[in-house]
Amino acid sequence: MTLDLTRALQAARQAEREQAHFYRALAAEAERRGDDALGERFNELHADEQHHLSRITARLMELGAALDDEPLVRAPEPAAATGLDGWEGAARLREEAEVMRYEALAGAQPDAQTAALIREILDTERHHAESLGGKWTPA
């Protein structure tokens, strides 16, 4: 399989932007409702997704790629669409999609530096899918 590395990383970057937005909106709703523990859980997930976004952005820049900053596709706010009581199902589906995306990227055998980045992100996304909790990203 031939990998268009720039295109694949651009797609992963866009997905990370959307995932970060998803958790940021959930954190804001949890905090609005006074659920500090759930708000912190979402903030930790958001922090991991933001970290992935930053690392992918840096890798694209190292590869000399122009950043594709398409506007985020704005679905209804996650808290409004799923309710805080039902957020787990939506989040789990999103995390499983991220695992599949990074498994496909890893399987396409990118260069060594990108492969290492993808393995680290994939490990974190697997933890997210299992626990729906954050702070798995190594510093």
Q: Three-class SS of residue 33?
A: coil
Please indicate, yes or no, if residue 67 is contained in any of the structural domains: yes
Please indicate, yes or no, if residue 139 is contained in any of the structural domains: no
From residue 131, alpha-carbon distances to 42, 50, 84, 114 in Å are: 12, 18, 16, 26
Total domains in the fold of the chain:
1
Q: Tell me, what CATH number does 17's domain have?
A: 1.20.1260.10
pLDDT tens digits, the chain, 139 residues: what are they? 446 889 999 999 999 999 999 999 999 999 999 999 999 999 999 999 999 999 999 999 999 998 877 766 555 455 545 567 788 888 999 999 999 999 999 999 899 999 999 999 999 999 999 998 766 565 5
Please indicate, yes or no, if residue 75 is contained in any of the structural domains: yes
Please indicate, yes or no, if residue 138 is contained in any of the structural domains: no
Please indicate, yes or no, if residue 65 is contained in any of the structural domains: yes
Q: Three-class SS of residue 30?
A: helix
Per-residue confidence (pLDDT) for residue 95, from 0 to 100: 95
Please indicate, yes or no, if residue 49 is contained in any of the structural domains: yes
Please indicate, yes or no, if residue 136 is contained in any of the structural domains: no
Per-residue confidence (pLDDT) for residue 80, from 0 to 100: 47
Please indicate, yes or no, if residue 59 is contained in any of the structural domains: yes
Give the residue numbers spanning the domain of 17.
5-131
